[in-house]
Structure 1
């Protein structure tokens, strides 16, 4: 038997070794014990488990109670359900007090039933995962792979929570600028001379410099035309998460006109950020002029600063009202300026899709990475690319891979 640490080697514990299955199974036991649990709470708990990483039993207990036991009257029932699902024995005699939880939830001293057991073990005699729990887990996974265009309003709200909890770690690069450092490959002559003046010319040690490490800039362009209406809200929430995760993130909307919405998306609340974007963007669900908008970006005051050395992400179906020559010229310049050009096209999720639309065909030769971007799973994959942990192994322009 092995302590519950988030990783198990027991081959018979496949269900609980999967965090989604574990969260869903625990939610089902909570319902059976009288604690009301919604699907959105289960999703939030799954995100909390992911955030904890290698958790202790106490941390898992308090994280779950913060999510599920929203009323003090449910504390006792929650503790019993926790014992039942995660312990070999449903009753734990005289459990010690809980350690201070990582999520900042304060442990209460009163009520032994509310204290988490510290000897949680998972062995061969596991509780069989109830059918209801399996259904919930499959629903969470189904939501990740379901196209935004096919979601109900309730599913859109639940997917918004998942996107909000995505862990975004952006890629970094070495800057050309240098900074003072204790060790480094470059000699800091000015710093060394200034130091010698303070020691009357007595040489003690040489001052060094190294290149700065900076987050690689990201420029995100979102098509807000009518044909992208089913995907715009979800992708904009992802752009909000990007803007909150990094300092050098610029976001623009592309429709009939180009609009910069970077500052609006820095609001802590995603709903408030989308409200501010709605006040800025006047051509939502209108037409699309990709070529003219990209040219405006290149000629505008934010153009070269936002593009030079950046990873550029364009989310559009490629249905453009401009002439293909205008878009091709702009794409050629964009590709020359940026570090990498990624294009998300929700239509690409269909295996039968061919980039035959005039705009898409004109842009394709200048795209480094052509992706779908139609569901949460595809946005998670994009997040891995932006973190530098996943790269496209297929070299060359995207047009060569779709010929």
Structure 2
């Protein structure tokens, strides 16, 4: 076999399987492009196809570009080539690497969904149908309430949320750092530099203020009344956590749970599964006052420093609305720079604050926003990216 032969991708059943496997990886979320597929086809001519371990290692080296994609690749490889009947006579019993034998984790559901798609010859027709989606269809999906969506629509929205990024709204701190365009004289560095010139000050060093992104703290209600929105909100928080490192997330129903570390898992399905296993009161009752008391007492000083922004995501339907709720909301309000209440009930045009819990909470928030569809989430990102209000705390209700 010559070098020219190596540059010609193989054809036949082997090529179809490699292309199908690459398409399944792409559907499962891995960034697999045409160039990687061609590299894989060329690599198949250089290895022993019957060696399962060599096949796995070769395809992994080509298709896996990030550490968090390795587990998804391992699951897809096991499922795809187990299901491909035409490959059974080509793959021997050589064991896979140890990290490929791990028990299937929640991300495997995404892999199984990708492999359950129509056959290779039906995919172009599917893509053509997706391209025919009109602008009006996309607008309807943008404005449709999460609670009214079908399973297919929720899957589309989940993919859209995963692409959301929150720009780094900078907050000016009191600290200084070397900055040639700064307004403050750095006397120490200036005098130290003058020693090189015999005491003559030739280079004047300056200091400038340090700008850092504002910390974001999210308090998400996971009670039964919020069950239709909780998972999508967690996807949203995972998306902004992936883009910003200073994000803390707490879930509360009848008790408060810190899931910040769980949401830092790069794979969204893994992150949500970790959150679910860490919470004991999922879709139960609501005790906002007790949960806020625990947060204010145990966590406020740890996470609300340096001008933190708090996102309170709840419908405000407190089971035990009393004076304690108003006190805890006021304490939370005074501890942060900006308190934004996101309430799905604002999707109703004639919403009025009639519930006792909502009446007690409303005076202690800076902004009151709806969060029930993609449009409202994008409006929230725009609000968080804008410069914060300095002199006044205004109650704002935005139309979705």
TM-score by length of 2: 0.64
In structure 2, distance between residues paired with 1:383 and 1:396 = 18
In structure 2, distance between residues paired with 1:132 and 1:263 = 36
In structure 2, distance between residues paired with 1:224 and 1:347 = 15
How far the C-alpha of 1:389 sits from its partner, in A, is 7.0
Q: Which residue of 2 aligns with 1:371?
A: 369
Equivalences for residues 226-375 of structure 1 within 5 A:
226-300=224-298, 302-308=299-305, 309-375=307-373
Say whether 1:207 aligns with 2:199. no
Say whether 1:218 aligns with 2:231. no
Q: Which residue of 2 aligns with 1:32?
A: none
In structure 2, distance between residues paired with 1:295 and 1:317 = 18
**Retained in 2: the 8 A contact 1:236–1:274?**
yes
In structure 2, distance between residues paired with 1:303 and 1:390 = 20
Q: Which residue of 1 aligns with 2:120?
A: none
Equivalences for residues 34-113 of structure 1 within 5 A:
none
Report the aligned-residue RMSD: 3.4
Q: Which residue of 1 aligns with 2:169?
A: 171
Say whether 1:156 aligns with 2:154. yes
Q: Structure 1 132/197 Cα, relative in aligned 2: closer, same or farther at 3 Å?
A: closer
SS in 2 for 1:318: coil
Q: Which residue of 1 aligns with 2:11?
A: none
In structure 2, distance between residues paired with 1:137 and 1:183 = 47
How far the C-alpha of 1:195 sits from its partner, in A, is 2.4
Say whether 1:145 aligns with 2:140. no
In structure 2, distance between residues paired with 1:131 and 1:240 = 30
- Cα deviation digits, residues 261-289 of structure 1 (max 9, x gap): 11211121111110111121111101111
In structure 2, distance between residues paired with 1:197 and 1:356 = 72
SS in 2 for 1:158: helix
Structure 1 segments unaligned to the other structure (5+ residues): 1-40, 49-61, 73-129
In structure 2, distance between residues paired with 1:389 and 1:336 = 19
In structure 1, distance between residues paired with 2:388 and 2:376 = 13
Size of the aligned set, in residue pairs, is: 285
Q: Which residue of 2 aligns with 1:107?
A: none
Q: Which residue of 1 aligns with 2:8?
A: none
**Retained in 1: the 8 A contact 2:300–2:335?**
no
In structure 1, distance between residues paired with 2:129 and 2:210 = 54
Structure 2 segments unaligned to the other structure (5+ residues): 1-25, 42-127
How far the C-alpha of 1:368 sits from its partner, in A, is 1.4
In structure 1, distance between residues paired with 2:322 and 2:225 = 18
**Retained in 2: the 8 A contact 1:385–1:391?**
no
In structure 1, distance between residues paired with 2:226 and 2:130 = 35
